[in-house]
C-alpha cells in the first residue's frame, strides 16, 4: 500500500524492528521461522512440498486483532477467473468446501487514481474517520498493487471454487470503477455471511524491508465497530494463513513489523473494524523492495501465493 493510506500508518509511525532477532524467533516460533532459517541456510529447495505437510499454523504466536462501521447496501461482483475454463467455475457447490462462503477483497482499484474526490471522502470506521480508499503502491517498474491483488484474488478464487466453495469478490476488473470504500468492503463480507474473508495487499516500505505479514483484528468496541465476536476466529484464520503462506511461497515473515512472527494486530483498519465475520489482511510482500518486487511480479510466484492462502483458508474451514 502507498502511504498515506486509509488502512495503514506511514512507516515513520510504525515500530519498525530490524535485524533477525534470533533469540526471540527461537522462543516465539520454533517450528515455522526456525525451519525457514534452516531452509535459507542450506540454500533453499524446490516447491515439492506435499499439501499440508509444511509449516504448522500452531508454530505462529496468536495475538489479538481489529474492527469496522455502518455502510450503504452493496453487492459483491460475481466471481470469474480469467482464463479459467467452465469446468473450474462449475466446481462451486460440489466438493469438500461445499456450502462455505469466502469473500476475497483485492486491495485498492486500478481506477482509484482517476477518482481522488471519491476515494478521499471520509468514512466512519467506528474508532475514527478515514479516507474511503487509497490508490495503492507499485513496484519500481510500474506493476501496481491493484493489479497484483486482483490477480492473486482470481487465482485464489479458482482454487476455492474447485473445492466447492462459493466465492465473492469485493471488486472485479472495472467493477466498480473505483473503490469500493473500506466500509463497503467490510459490508460485502457481512452481507454474504462469509465463513471467512481475506483482504489481499502488498506493502509500500523502504528498500531492504521485506517479507509478508498477516494483520489480525484487535478488540474494538466503539461506534458501529465491535470486533469482539471475531477476534478469536480471525486470529485462528490468520495463524493458519501465515503458516501455509510461508510454506508455499518461502517468502520470509516481515523483518520490519511483527517481530519476525508474520503476525500483526491492529485496531485502525476499517475493513477489519467493521467486519462481523472472521477476517484478516495479508501484505504479501514489499513492492518497493527489489527482492520482493521481483517475486510479486512473477506469475508462478503469485500462483504459489494463492495456493498458500487457499491452504490456510481451507485448513481454517475444515478445523
How would DSSP label each residue in 78-94? BP--TT--HHHHTTTTS
Closest CA to 159 of 316, 319, 311, 318: 311
Q: Is 131 a catalytic residue?
A: no
> Distance from first CA to last CA of the chain, Å, rounded?
32
Within 10 Å of residue 282's Cβ, how many Cβ atoms? Answer: 26
Which residue, 119, 126, 103, 112, is CA-closest to 281?
103
CB atoms within 10 A of CB 110: 18
Those residues whose C-beta lies under 8 Å from the C-beta of residue 83, and which sit 6 or more positions away, are: none
Residue 190: partners with Cβ closer than 8 Å, 6 or more residues away? 274, 275, 276, 277
Q: Distance between CA 179 and CA 117 in Å, rounded?
A: 11
* Short-list 237, 233, 245, 168, CA closest to 202: 245
Phi, psi of 33 (to 5 degrees): -75, -35
Please return the burial class of 50, using the count of CB atoms within 10 Å of its CB with bins 0-12, 13-18 and 19+: exposed
CA distance 182 to 270: 6
Active-site hit among 145, 259, 283, 311: 283
Q: Give the active site residues.
A: 283
Amino acid at each position: 500500500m502507498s502511504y498515506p493510506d486509509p488502512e495503514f500508518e506511514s512507516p515513520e509511525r510504525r515500530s519498525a524492528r530490524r535485524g533477525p532477532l534470533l533469540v526471540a524467533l527461537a522462543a516465539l516460533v520454533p517450528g515455522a521461522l526456525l525451519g525457514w532459517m534452516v531452509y535459507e541456510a542450506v540454500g533453499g529447495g524446490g516447491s515439492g512440498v506435499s499439501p499440508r505437510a509444511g509449516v504448522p499454523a500452531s508454530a505462529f504466536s496468536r495475538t489479538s486483532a481489529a474492527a469496522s462501521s455502518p455502510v450503504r447496501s452493496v453487492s459483491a461482483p460475481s466471481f470469474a477467473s480469467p482464463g479459467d475454463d467452465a469446468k473450474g467455475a462449475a466446481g462451486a457447490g460440489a466438493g469438500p468446501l461445499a456450502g462455505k462462503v469466502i469473500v476475497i477483497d483485492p486491495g485498492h482499484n486500478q481506477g482509484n487514481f482517476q477518482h481522488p474526490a471519491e476515494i478521499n471522502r471520509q468514512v466512519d470506521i467506528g474508532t475514527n474517520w478515514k479516507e474511503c480508499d487509497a490508490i495503492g503502491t507499485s513496484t519500481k517498474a510500474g506493476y501496481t498493487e491493484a493489479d497484483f491483488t486482483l490477480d492473486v484474488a482470481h487465482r485464489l478464487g479458482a482454487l476455492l471454487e474447485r473445492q466447492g466453495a462459493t466465492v465473492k469478490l469485493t471488486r472485479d476488473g472495472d467493477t466498480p470503477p473505483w473503490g469500493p470504500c473500506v466500509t463497503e468492503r467490510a459490508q460485502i463480507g457481512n452481507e454474504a455471511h462469509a465463513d471467512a474473508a481475506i483482504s489481499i495487499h502488498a506493502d509500500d516500505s523502504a528498500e531492504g524491508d521485506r517479507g509478508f505479514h498477516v494483520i489480525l483484528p484487535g478488540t474494538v468496541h466503539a461506534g458501529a465497530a465491535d470486533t469482539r465476536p471475531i477476534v478469536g476466529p480471525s486470529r485462528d484464520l490468520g495463524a493458519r494463513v501465515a503458516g501455509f503462506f510461508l510454506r508455499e511461497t518461502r517468502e520470509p515473515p516481515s523483518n520490519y513489523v511483527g517481530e519476525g512472527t508474520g503476525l500483526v494486530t491492529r485496531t485502525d483498519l476499517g475493513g477489519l473494524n467493521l467486519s462481523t465475520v472472521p477476517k484478516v489482511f495479508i501484505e504479501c510482500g514489499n513492492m518497493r523492495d527489489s527482492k520482493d518486487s521481483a517475486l510479486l511480479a512473477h506469475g508462478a510466484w503469485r500462483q504459489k501465493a494463492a495456493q498458500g492462502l487457499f491452504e490456510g483458508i481451507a485448513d481454517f474451514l475444515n478445523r
